[in-house]
Amino acid sequence: MGAYWIKLRDPETGKTDAFCVEAASKVEAIGIVTIHRRGNVTSCMPLPYPASPRVGPQSEIPAFCYDPGRCAGHQCCPKDYACSE
């Protein structure tokens, strides 16, 4: 199971929102977010850890990623220090 940062664009307002989805694959993550939220998926990138806000089923792993917009697309955290410091 992995975490994915998915961006959605509302077709009526043009507003973009982003959510963390935990799923086994990118395809499954997109399917989960489209069930729970309205909009067109504009991007889906892996996260090193789960982040907030979350959509869909969640594991017991806390939201360790505090800057998902920056970390999206990385397999490990790109920072030299923990966000919790």
> Is residue 47, in this structure, part of any structural domain at all?
yes
Counting the structural domains of the chain, the total is: 1
Say what the alpha-carbon torsion angle 76, 81, 82, 84 is, to the nearest 10 degrees.
-160
pLDDT tens-place string over residues 6-41: 999 988 899 999 999 999 999 999 999 989 888 899
What's the pLDDT score for residue 1? Answer: 85
> Is residue 29, in this structure, part of any structural domain at all?
yes
For the whole model, what pTM was predicted?
A: 0.88
> Is residue 33, in this structure, part of any structural domain at all?
yes
Q: Which domain holds residue 46?
A: 2-71
Cα–chain center distance at 50: 7
3-state secondary structure at position 36: helix
> Is residue 84, in this structure, part of any structural domain at all?
no
CA distances (Å), origin 62, targets 9, 12, 42, 72: 26, 33, 26, 17
> Is residue 80, in this structure, part of any structural domain at all?
no
> Is residue 50, in this structure, part of any structural domain at all?
yes
